[in-house]
Chains A and B, each alone.
Chain A
């Protein structure tokens, strides 16, 4: 509340050599990136849905394709909506982002490992 100026930027001195930590904010204007990002994320979603509903390919291939679509979706969300490029410097983002990916993949990986039992039993 106090340390913000009226246009939302922050007054912070950047020490020499640490410029890469300086805040970067998107300039004002019509948010084309966001609008296009929104359209594309809808497209990616419906593409996945249609492929699955129509059984458009053999299952394994289908899985691979929707996984690829999902990765594209994740990248899009991070890049356009999660302010990945617009921040107090990318360095601050990488550590928590890496951590988030680690947790996500660990959870998905172990879930697959746990649920594999079905193939062994049935």
Chain B
């Protein structure tokens, strides 16, 4: 037995998971874990947790689950970022060594894209889309819960790699041969492939779910061209997801086969083609950057009209540019590996297509500006993020165009210039957009308003921190500093710029703390949103109480144009003053189920077994997956009646029923 235990300890906790940072993480996980268990037991909340949250199929609750995960991952990814920046602050000063540095930048990138940005986006999709299009739910509520739990357990599998077995260390792109077993033994890269595969299934399902929801579940009268712009961006994003994730799945699965079963799709020897992985990865990867930016575009297209008190300028051109971005996004992926040297024709083609995509993007920027032009602008936190977004994103786009010039890219590729570019668009675009949406829709999700003054403090810290961090990185790129270096010597002139950049990074960290403080403070003291319409909004979600009741709409509204709620308000109407008791009909709601959670858990167990190649565990998990699917297929009892009286009562307590 002791020999067995020794083996176990050695496999699960090899030396590189026994360093100070890892032990610190172990300690924190243990303390929070015990704390959570204690609180749940002490206040007898286990049943509540299971019944209200872990088994929920309500899109509004799933939204909150996604949001919690996203903010937790923003924290973890952010701590990673600060570790990276600390290591680079001064020449030759390295709190963490080369190997650990590789691990930290890998987890930073992977977490920020797949486990922060994606769930944050899905949080807002779930919170807003059904309300905005006048629907009672998404098209497939159970699949929606499945998506969440696959994502959540995928994320968990990825996160435990840090303390159990060792983190992946080949970058968020996971290129071979860096991930090849011969050069990278240990469980790290297998964690990467498996967790992304599992979470990827969830993401694909979400794409399908929201595509169908928007196509099929709109309120009567809401034609496609009357949809709120956020719904449009969700539609286009979903379509991108459906086509972008399969190449990633293939690339990851084949790499996993290479590692685990000795095939040679992407290996250096035996006729493998490592560059084919790169091709497949970016076939996904470029659409992915649009998957994370288009929702932000959608958010701004809601925020700007509301806080400018004006209709969105150029609705039709907005739609056209969204759709053309969708198509063009598939035609540019080679710009991530121009230096592979596919030849002048290929590179020229993809350089041009990359430049082309800036045109529809520019159109959108002008439309937002023209919407603000002559509007009555209210400077709220949501609007501030939008106003910071425009210049930031323009710089990010312009530096992207410079990268799309092939000869320039040969110089800039893999330098800090690229790092600065993609943070410019990812933070200045996606993150600013998500934070704007967070402040904007928070009252709708939780029923209280985040404190604006504290929000503004967080905003300035975050935006100033952003520029201080990333402007110097453009200069570092021009001075030849390459990305993914863990340290650098004196005498290259990189010293000052790196110090500045690190200071900026800590300023952004302070911005994050301000955000969390704001959330906790507002939870207690924040102004409650009693009207359901705190911003004088224009779209249907603001016609409902905050938070919306579980059935959303007591009666599905009929839509007559863009900005339906605004039109209603102009005629002195609300959803409430049209609702008479006899209009309320009994409904069926989807019933809670533990299946999605168990499915995610099974994937987690199976994935963990595969990471360590402990086949009995892997097979056990796999059987669990099959069992859950069979159960799901034959579970016909998936609806619950909601009597009209209950709805009348609920609407009555909101004061939304005519006597």
Residue positions of A touching B, CB distance < 8 A: 1-2, 100, 103, 106-107, 110-111, 113-118, 120-121
Q: Is the CB of A121 within 8 A of B346?
A: no
Complex contacts, B346 vs chain A, CB 8 Å: 113-114, 117
Q: Does B343 lie within 8 Å of A103, measured CB to CB?
A: no
A74 vs B271: C-alpha distance when bound (angstroms) = 27
A115 touches B273 (CB 8 A): yes
Task: Tell whether, in the assembled complex, residue B137 and residue A1 are in contact, meaning their CB atoms are under 8 Å apart.
Answer: yes
Q: Looking at the complex, which of B107-115, B275-283, B514-522 is the stretch in contact with chain A?
A: B275-283
Known: A1-B589, A2-B587, A106-B330. A117 touches B136 (CB 8 A): no
Name the prevailing secondary structure of the A interface residues: helix
Do most interface residues of chain B lie in helix, strand or loop, or is the interface mixed? mixed
Q: Is B15 engaged at the interface, CB distance under 8 Å to the other chain?
A: no
Interface residue? B340 (CB, 8 A): yes
Asked if B374 is an interface residue, CB under 8 A from chain A, the answer is: no
Interface string of B328-360 (1 = CB under 8 A from A): 001100100000111100100000000000000
Contacts A1-B587, A2-B587 given; does A117 touch B341 at CB 8 Å: yes
Chain B: number of interface residues, binned into ranges: 20 to 34
The answer to whether B334 and A121 have CB atoms under 8 Å apart is no
The verdict on B583 contacting chain A, using a C-beta distance below 8 Å, is no
Give the distance to chain B from A77, nearest Cβ to Cβ, in Å. Answer: 13
| Bound Cα distance from A110 to B346, whole angstroms | 9
**A120 touching B343, Cβ below 8 Å:** yes
A107 and B136 contacting across the interface, CB-CB below 8 Å = no
6 residue pairs A–B, Cβ–Cβ below 8 Å: A1-B587, A2-B587, A107-B283, A111-B280, A117-B346, A118-B273
- Counting from the closest, the 9 A-B pairs by CB-CB distance are A117-B342, A114-B342, A117-B343, A114-B346, A1-B136, A111-B279, A103-B243, A1-B588, A114-B334
B34: CB under 8 A from chain A?
Answer: no
* Complex Cα gap A120–B340 (Å): 13
> Does B136 contact A111, Cβ atoms closer than 8 Å?
no
A114 touches B279 (CB 8 A): yes
Interface string of B435-475 (1 = CB under 8 A from A): 00000000000000000000000000000000000000000
Q: How far is the CA of A58 from the CA of B496 in the complex (A)?
A: 61
CB 8 Å contact bits of B183-219 with A (1 = contact, 0 = none): 0000000000000000000000000000000000000
User: For residue B526, which residues in chain A have a CB less than 8 angstroms away from its CB?
Assistant: none
User: Interface code B117-150, partner A: CB below 8 Å = 1, 0 otherwise?
Assistant: 0000000000000000000110000000000000
Complex Cα distance A121/B583, Å?
Answer: 73
The smallest C-beta distance from A66 to any residue of chain B, in angstroms, reads: 14
Chain B residues whose C-beta falls within 8 Å of the C-beta of A106 in the assembled complex: 330
Minimum Cβ distance to chain A for residue B226 (Å)? 20
